[in-house]
Structure 1
Amino acid sequence: MDFTFTNEQIAFRDSVSRFLMSEVAPDTLREIWETDGGRSPELRRMMAAQGLTVLAVPEAEGGLGLGDIDWALMTQELGYYAIPDSLADAAYVGAGLLAGLPGDNAVRATWLPRIADGSCRIAVGHPVNPWVADAALADLLLLAHPVQNGIELHALTRDAVEVIPQASIDGSRRLAQVRWDPCSASRVADGQTGRALWEEALDRGAVNVAGQLVGLAQRMVDISVDYVAQRKQFGKPIGSFQAVKHHLADVVTKIEFARPVLYQAAYALAHGGTHRALLASHAKLACADAAWNAARKGIQVHGAMGYTWEVDLQMYAKRAWALDAAWGDRAFHKDRLAGALLGESAPLGPLASFNNNMDS
């Protein structure tokens, strides 16, 4: 497997990074957190103008038709800057769900072009998530309805559901319990077809969150390195103390081990790998562990003041803690790993590590 990104992919990632660096500085992030909606319509318009909403939309509906590997780079940038927006939920996970519908489906034909031009918000309610992100702000909600032969996919507008807000430790994460009544008019995929769509959405959602967690981990370690280089004790920067170096080196090691796992999962998603679910769960666990450690060690080297509102670190730590349970908590993904690794068809044995079927 080749994890070397093309020059075009790297250039696009760098352009996204420069854009978010200028538009989502920590002070801007604080201001958006303190608004009632936790969102900036102007930021969403600018992201659409930069082409960030068209990536996963098929070319037939006005998009670029890019895939999971491109998004593995994109989501890291969204995490690094902790963007106060559910862009990836709509333009990646939601767009993927709609793109899985037949080409002549009316819901697909109506909403994919709107995702591409940035004129709508999509909320995705998967059974693994107890609350739906951005449900109160969404123009369209894609919701799951378990039935005897699978899981149906339903599409409803905001006025067709009841939304009960739920507080989050992340000031820009808008969660809600959604109450609704499934009917034939809202159903866009039956139980059997919907099951496949929702299973892919789960893996895509997990990889989406994993990418953001790696980006958050990198941002927190960067913030911590800057702090320990400036903070002095006994006349020396505390970053020169060996114990502090060890804390941050541990975080960097976890990030470096998590990134290849993320890329392997994205590769399996893009190529329909037979062990896609296993790799997606592995990515979520590895990236969540990196972000969790970055937050804990970052707060520790800040002398616990990293919890306070005045320090930038706390915003990225809170986002990491919130995303840790999104699209399946650790228990859920460990159970999926156990089922894959301990089952009768588990890829175990001396030759399994070199078996290319893991990714095909």
Structure 2
Amino acid sequence: MRFALTAEQKEFGAAVGALLADVPEGGAGERDRWSRLAGLGLLAVLVPEEHGGAGGDETDLLAPLEAAGRAAAPEPVVEAAVAAALLRGTDLAAEWLPKLAAGETFVAVTEPGTAHAASADRAGLLLYESGGAWSATSTFAVTARDSVDPARRLSAVEPAEGVRLAEGSEAYDRGAALTAAYLVGVASRMIEMTVGYAGQRRQFGRAIGSYQAVKHRLADALVAVEFARPTVHRAAHSLANGAPTRSRDASAAKAMASDAASRAARTALQVHGAIGYTMEHDLHRWLRRAWSLAAAWGDADHHRRRVAGLLIAADGEPVRTP
């Protein structure tokens, strides 16, 4: 089985990365960034062609999501992909999927087991999970919540009774796997920033990057990222092809990517020293994104327990995982 990306997929990721580098986040450019991401087709990847989408699959999102992570983009691109997949084939598809693909609306998605959703304050539609089933409603109350990552606007939501969409864990698997792809980008960028800093910062007459202790920390962080990336690609391939192992693969990817991002964040902060704690240095944007998304869609410990439970169940002894 080959998980390498095609030339077209790599070019798509490069185009998304170039756009995010060119258009600043926040302020007046916020809506423009979302519209331009839609113009590139990022929001339409999982939308069927009959609804104005590209009719692609999860593997087509790997490169652009990693590019979004490298740019620390706060836009809810993962949630848009999860929403597109949930709405496909439903009575709401004809109304909402063209709007989602064109970037004309935000669709908020709650994380299973919580009443919180990113960008719900800007959303026209809410998809929420309750008791293992997903529903949709355009009527919901929103209460802003503090977050370690202010750019990722988090809200508590209270939905009115909605329309039943689907049951099962596939939306959760998709959210976990695609967030893992984003985290690989976040971690990669933090390592690059830290290597650059370590080559410039001098102590005792030498660049701190020349010291073995610093080299080993950076090497360990890089190894964690490089081990996580193929696991994420496997998860996307499993989701795209409806593999029976897709839940296990998604959880393995999220666990490894969360660990890799957390290690990269810790290493970056330690090597940068005091400057890494300040708002004057850009590192805080990636640190916040790593910390918030490592916990989103289930943290590493949760997904390790889930993998263990699924492996045991595959041997004929079903178990419940929290």
TM-score by length of 2: 0.93
Question: Residues 61-101 of structure 1: CA distance to partner in whole angstroms, max 9, x if unpaired?
Answer: 111111111112221111110112112211x11101111x3
Q: In 1, Cα distance between the equivalents of 2:33 and 2:148?
A: 22
Deviations 1:96-122 (A, max 9, x none): 1111x34xx2x1110001111110100
In the TM superposition, 1:120-269 aligns within 5 A as 120-146=105-131, 151=133, 153-157=134-138, 160-182=139-161, 186-189=162-165, 194-196=166-168, 199-269=169-239
Say if 1:249 and 1:338 are closer, same or farther in 2 by CA, change over 3 A.
same
From the superposition, tell whether residues 181 and 174 of structure 1 become closer, same or farther in structure 2 (CA, over 3 Å).
Answer: same
Cα deviation for residue 128 of structure 1 reads 3.0
Gaps of 5+ in 1: 348-360
Structure 2 gaps, min length 5? 318-322
| Counterpart residue number, 1:59 | 49
State whether structure 2 residue 1 is matched by structure 1 residue 16.
no
Does the aligned pair in 2 maintain the 1:72–1:207 contact within 8 Å? no
Distance in structure 1 (CA, Å) of the matches to 2:297 and 2:291: 13
2:112–2:297 contact (8 Å) kept in structure 1: no
Between stretches 327-336 and 275-284, larger displacement belongs to: 327-336
Are the counterparts in 1 of residues 118 and 153 from structure 2 also a CA contact under 8 Å? yes
Q: Is the 8 A contact 1:39 1:85 kept in 2?
A: no
Residue 111 (structure 1) aligned to one of 96, 106, 124: 96
Residue 139 (structure 1) shift: 1.0
C-alpha deviation, 1:3, in angstroms? 1.6
| 1:140 CA displacement | 0.8
Task: Give the alignment partner of residue 335 of structure 1, picking from 296, 305, 317.
Answer: 305
**Offset at residue 344 of structure 1 (A):** 5.6
User: Which runs of at least 4 in structure 1 moved beyond 6 Å after TM superposition?
Assistant: none
Amino acid aligned to 2:15: S
The letter for the 1-side match of 2:143 is I
**Contact 1:129/1:328 (8 A) holds in 2:** no
**Alignment deviations for residues 222-262 of structure 1 (CA, whole Å, 9 cap, x no partner):** 11011111111122211111111111111110011000100
1:270 and 2:240 are equivalent in the alignment: yes
Which has the larger displacement, 250-259 or 160-169?
Answer: 160-169
- The SS at the match of 1:303 is helix
Aligned amino acid, residue 231 of structure 1: R
1:327 to 1:39, Cα distance in 2 relative to 1, 3 A: farther
**Residue equivalent to 1:323:** 293
Query: Following TM superposition, by how much is the alpha carbon of 1:48 offset from its aligned partner in structure 2, in angstroms?
Result: 1.8
Distance 1:320 1:62, change over 3 A: same
Match of residue 354 from structure 1 = none
Q: Are the counterparts in 2 of residues 165 and 176 from structure 1 also a CA contact under 8 Å?
A: yes
CA distance in 1 between counterparts of 2:256 and 2:114 reads: 20
Bigger Rg, structure 1 or 2: 1
Q: What letter matches 1:156 in structure 2?
A: T
**Partners of 2:12 and 2:155 in 1: how far apart?**
33
Residues 58 and 240, structure 2, Cα contact 8 Å, conserved in 1: yes
- Aligned mates of 1:315, 1:298 — CA distance in 2: 12
Q: For the structure 1 residues 346 and 228, does the alpha-carbon distance in structure 2 shift closer, same or farther, using more than 3 Å as the test? A: farther
TM-score by length of 1: 0.84
Question: How far 1:346 sits from its partner (Å)?
Answer: 6.8
Q: Select which of 254, 258, 266 maps to 1:284.
A: 254
Shift of 1:328: 1.3
Identity, % of aligned positions: 40
User: In structure 2, how many angstroms separate the alpha carbons of the residues matched to 1:118 and 1:180?
Assistant: 23
Q: Is the 8 A contact 2:137 2:160 kept in 1?
A: no
- Say whether the 8 Å CA contact 2:121–2:155 is kept in structure 1: yes
Distance change >3 Å, CA 161–CA 269, structure 1 → 2? same
